[in-house]
Amino acid sequence: MVEHPRPALYGVLGHPVVASRSPDIHRAAYQAMGWTHCHYVPVDTMPHRLTEVIAAFTALGGRGLNITIPLKAAVLGLPFMHSRDPWVLRAGVANTLARRPDGSWEAFNTDGPALYGALAHRAVEPRRVLVLGGGGAARASVLAVQATAETVVVATRTPVAWVGALDVPACRRVAWADALRWVPEADVIINATPLGQEGRASWDPVPRFQPGQCVVDWVYGDAPTRLVQQAQADGAAIIDGRELLVRQAAGAWARWFGDGAPVSAMAGAVGLAGTGWSS
């Protein structure tokens, strides 16, 4: 008698998740591996329902979760959270959960390592960094560049306490109105806001860049975003949000299954097949 693996459920939690490409990425990965027992679903939920939703997910056989806006900090307060990796402990946000055999969960942050890997792949050593945004991706971004950065300027619409709490001496906050003034001064510009995301406000005006700069956009769509297109037109290096999404998905895979994520299949699911970065 042939034994079949037990069905295993994975998914992404957030609000909204209708535009998330994580299901496409992970389903493509399962198909590449020939795994018919793994299933990946989007779950739209708000912070006040997290406990009941994850409890139900666990009861249905849930083994792993990706976490997105606005839940990256909220999940850390759940009563069944067992442990946190070093990136989570410093950033105070998680984007990946893995279920332990006893039913509790472990929290990981694969956003920071994703950006760190993308910069290292291009041999970019950030010195003067501008981070736009105050959410979880912004926190992870600051930690990803801190090793080489001499200055990290974080531009947010409202004051955020985490700038000081991260304990990154080079990091300081400026008002959003001053953000564009810092663009020419930076060698790496990181958009960690939802600006340009489908259904959200867009850039007005779009920043202009210079050759030699590296522009990172955490926002992604079916094609390069308006910010990425402008950076390309201006001769700057770019890190597309789709690449970051695949890199963090590969990081989540490692927490769920170990090494050996089918990165080429993951990249192909978001239109990045053959781009040569997948390492």
Query: Which domains does the chain possess?
Result: 8-109+243-269 (3.40.50.10860), 112-239 (3.40.50.720)
Backbone angles phi, psi at 188, to 5 degrees: -130, 125
- Do 130 and 89 form a contact (C-beta atoms < 8 A)? no
Quote the CA–CA distance of 216 and 213 in Å, as a whole number: 10
β-bridge partners, 236: none
The β-bridge partners of 105 are 81, 99
Average pLDDT over residues 117-140: 96
Q: Select which of 72, 139, 173, 242 is catalytic.
A: 72
Choose among 141, 138, 144: nearest CA to 158: 138
pLDDT at 277: 53
Contact present, 8 and 63 (Cβ < 8 Å): yes
- Label residue 64 exposed, middle or buried (CB < 10 Å: 0-12, 13-18, 19+): buried
Instruction: Say whether pLDDT at 1 is over 50.
Output: no
pTM, 2 dp: 0.92
- Predicted pLDDT of residue 164: 86
41 or 69, which is more confident? 41
269, 25 Cβ separation under 8 angstroms:
yes
Cβ proximity of 137 and 127 under 8 Å: no
Q: What would the mean pLDDT of 263-272 be, rounded to a whole number?
A: 94
Active site residue 72: yes
Least confident range of 106-120, 141-155, 190-204, 219-233: 190-204
Question: ∠ CA 13-130-116 to the nearest 5 degrees?
Answer: 55
Give residue 2's pLDDT. Answer: 38
How far apart, in whole angstroms, are the C-alpha atoms of residue 66 and residue 20? Answer: 11
Alpha-helical runs (H) found in the chain: 22-33, 50-59, 86-91, 111-121, 136-145, 162-165, 179-182, 226-233, 241-257, 263-269
Q: Kindly report which listed range (20-24, 156-160, 263-267) carries the lowest average pLDDT score.
A: 156-160
Q: Are strands 105-108 and 171-175 parallel, antiparallel or unpaired?
A: unpaired
Lowest mean pLDDT among 69-78, 79-88, 191-200, 222-231: 191-200
What is the tally of helices (H) and strands (E) in the chain? 10, 12
